Amino acid sequence: MNTNGLLMGFALLGWLFALSTSKTRAENEPKYDNAGLIKKGTKAPLFTLKDQEGKKVDTETFLEKKNVVLIFYPGDNTPGCTKQLCSIREDYSLFKDSDTVVFGINPQNAASHKKFIEKQRFPFQLLVDKDKRVLTLYGAKGLLLTKRTVYGIDKEGRVVFAERGAPSNEKILAAFR
């Protein structure tokens, strides 16, 4: 076999490999609705982020154990975000009773999250998404600010709730029943 034939063979193998891996990636990509939210019934993307203490939180550890609520919010210590997260705090026992963990997520740093938690006495963790990778995966990355978005993920890892804004806690919890 000459050099040209060998090069063409390697090129063909590379092309076949790229084709097979791109299909696998596409199958694992979340499906989005017209509003840019992950469709209900779709497997939620798994991720690992650090919390306000610098500890890693891996959503895969909650599969088959807990329901998960993700609250993507624009900023720590802002009026709308404080009101939304304080509402969760006030009803946190209802979330615990329904076997649900809650995480707030935005790109602000751990120190900012820690101050926000201490000031408002939140019983849940705030996660740092510095590079906005998770915000992008969940359709919550805006042009300048995080889009206020709430997701509910059941124990099987499927999205059961997806809504922009600050939906009521009752509405969020009803998705797990």
81 a catalytic residue: yes
Per the CB < 8 A criterion, the answer to whether 123 and 45 are in contact is: no
Residue 12 phi, psi dihedral angles, 5° rounding: -65, -45
Per the CB < 8 A criterion, the answer to whether 151 and 44 are in contact is: yes
Enumerate the β-bridge partners of residue 68: 101, 153
- If you search the block for the tokens 């101050």, which residue do you land on? 115
Q: Which of 81, 126, 128, 140 is catalytic?
A: 81
Exposure string of 68-106, with b = 16+ CB inside 10 Å and e = fewer, is bbbbbbbbbeeeebbebbeebbebbeebeebebbbbbbb
Q: Which residues are catalytic?
A: 81
